[in-house]
Amino acid sequence: MPPAETRNEKLDLRLTPSTKRALQVAAAIAHRSVSEFVLESALARAEETLPDRQRFGLDANQWAKFQAALDAPPKPAPRLTKLLTTPSVFER
């Protein structure tokens, strides 16, 4: 989070008492408030999760292969065709 950004948004959580105690203990061990601990932990997890789903880098050769794969006609999938054309057990 950029330092110039004002923290004026709020996020409410419903917790079990044992979950809240665990967060309080972990925050105390990390010398953080519970809010700081939860925010830092959640942001770290978001940073691990998001890059794979937002961006991926390709060099020129990889980009050409990627475009070719997108432009190529689909490969035959006989098992999928059979699955989609065979009546299900509910239709028999």
Render pLDDT for 19-74 as a digit per residue (tens, 0 to 9): 999 999 999 999 999 999 999 999 999 988 887 666 778 899 999 999 999 999 99
Give yes or no for residue 2 having a pLDDT over 60. Answer: no
pLDDT of the residue at 88:
87
pLDDT of the residue at 89:
87
- 24 within 8 A of 34, measured Cβ to Cβ: yes
> Could you give the CA distance from residue 35 to residue 1 in angstroms, rounded to a whole number?
15
For CA atoms 32, 33, 38, 39, the dihedral sign is: negative
pLDDT of the residue at 38:
96
Categorize the per-residue pLDDT at 4 as very low, low, confident or very high, splitting at 50, 70 and 90. confident
List alpha helices for 12-77, DSSP H: 17-29, 34-49, 51-54, 60-71
Q: Coil, strand, or helix at residue 79?
A: helix
Tell me what the mean pLDDT of segment 67-90 comes to: 93
Torsion (CA) 12, 17, 20, 26 in degrees, nearest 10: -170
AA identity, residue 92: R
